[in-house]
Structures are given as C-alpha cells and as structure tokens.
Structure 1
Amino acid sequence: MANIITGIRVLASIALLFCPAFTPVFYFCYLAAGVSDIADGAVARKTNTVSEFGSRLDTAADLIFAAICCIKLLPLLCMPTWVYYCVTIIAMIKIGNILSGYIRHKKLTAVHSVINKAAGGLCFLLPFTVSFIDIRYSAAVICMVAAAAAIHESCIVYKQT
C-alpha cells in the first residue's frame, strides 16, 4: 500500500508538468504529491511494510517531484542571484554526503532527520506563500535551514561506522 501511495506522488508530479503554475489544478496536484510524501512512510511503518525497495522508490519520487517543481516554478520566481549560489553550495554538500556515504558504506544512504524534514517542509510551502511573502525573506529562511540540514547530514554520515 505504501508503494502505491509513493506511486501517486510520481503521477501527481508528472501531472504538474501539464498544469499551469499557481492555478487550482496545479495546487491540487502539488498537494496530492505533498500529502503522499507524508503518508507513504507513515503507512509503511504502521503496516510493518518498510522495505529497501520502498525507501529507494520514495527517494526517487522525491527527486522526480523536486525536479519537476524546479522546472515549473524557477522560471516564474524572481529569485535573487544569491539564492542560486546558496542552493548550489547546499546541493554540493548533499551530493558530497551521498558520495561519502556510498564510499564508506557501499550503499546509498539518505538521512531522514528532523531538520531535513523541516527544510523540505519549508520548500514545499514556498509556492503557497509567494503571493504574500517576499521571496527574498522566504528564500533566506529556507537556505539557512537547508544549509544547517546539509551540515547536520554531513556530521551523521561522517560519524557512521
């Protein structure tokens, strides 16, 4: 059941490609993807069906959702240049964490910490807030939390034996 919910996120993400951004149908698909992201893990834990495949499917669905959101939203958001620099640095840290985890443990690892979830939640809320919160302020908060999450993730990856 949890993997079906994750599949819904993939389908809702793909549907976003065909919806004009910031329209009711866009927000419906966006919310469906977000709710499925929260629900799939909870369902897997509650039904005792947590699996390696489900974890990898969840990560792939997250990447698909994030990539499609970038494709749809970045061209429409007037972000200051510093935001792109911050995002690039954070992405480099996170890629370094993935590579380090793979080199050290011979498997892809994902850290599901509270601060990582907070960063993801703030990113998820961004499209709902652009009409009433200046993007510079939203981006500053998101970048700070995401940078802290990436650094925290580095500490976890490097401490694992």
Structure 2
Amino acid sequence: MVSESNKTVNLGISGVSFDDVINVARHGAKVVITPEAIAAIAKTRTYIDGYAAGGIPVYGVSTGFGALANRHIDVKDRTQLQKSLIRSHAAGVGPAVEREVVRALLFLRLRTMTSGRTGVRVEVAQIYADFLNAGITPVVPEFGSLGCSGDLAPLSHCALAMMGEGVVH
C-alpha cells in the first residue's frame, strides 16, 4: 500500500487515538517509534536477556511453553524454539481478513511493544513499523486461533511473514 496520507504517527510509551489507528490502517500514515519508546523497549529486553543468560528461567525464552514451562531450553536452541512456536501457531484457515484490519492489528501490536513492557527486541518493533511504512501487509486467515486471547494465530501469520515465510500483499 502506498501512503495516501502525509501524516505521521509517533508511537511513544503512551496510548494512541482512534484517529491514529484509522490513519495508519486505512490511510497509510507513516509510523515512527520515538526515542523514548526505543529506550523503554531496550531497557526491558536487557533485563530479560540478563535473567535468561544468568540461568533464571524466563518463560518462553529459556523455558518451553505450557506443560513444558519447566523444561530448560539451551541458548543454542532458543531461536529455533521461537521460530517453531510461530510456525505451529500460524494455523488459520478461511478467507483473508481485510487488509486494513491486519494493518490495525500490526499497529496496535506495535503500540503494545512501544510501552516497553513486552520484552521484545527493538529490532522486532522496528520490523513492524517497517512493514506498515512499506505497505507490506501479511495475509491473515479469518478463522482459527488458540487460547483465550484470540490473537495467537493472526499474530503468528504476521510474524511468519516477517520471517520471510508467510504470504503478504
């Protein structure tokens, strides 16, 4: 999607407005992650990396998931663990969700990341912004999510695209 908007939405550590969501999702406004948000993301990630490197179990980073939460994952296997998790949850079916809905999903997930409370790497947040700014929209099937959050399959399809394995518009 080529930007139809000259607007820019700055994502900091605080909330966004409904108009921000519409401007990004529907009108292609550019997204900029503020230095304050980058610092917050990096600070939290530093804690997580420190804990995981120091032997403190960090759920989903240095441990398995669900029933395997007590299982330690060696450093050399952690990247593969994350990739496998994404692949296993990208299990949606049916027609593709509308493009602007997926763009809103990406934007709102990025907004959550910029709070500095998720533990993602700065590079992950930047990839979300880059996808939005380039008009690259992952194809997300309408049906089939896991768990009570309802966003695991849709976000996994997005992450799969960001890994270079999914389908995009």
TM-score, length-scaled by structure 1: 0.33
TM-score by length of 2: 0.32
Bigger strand fraction: 2
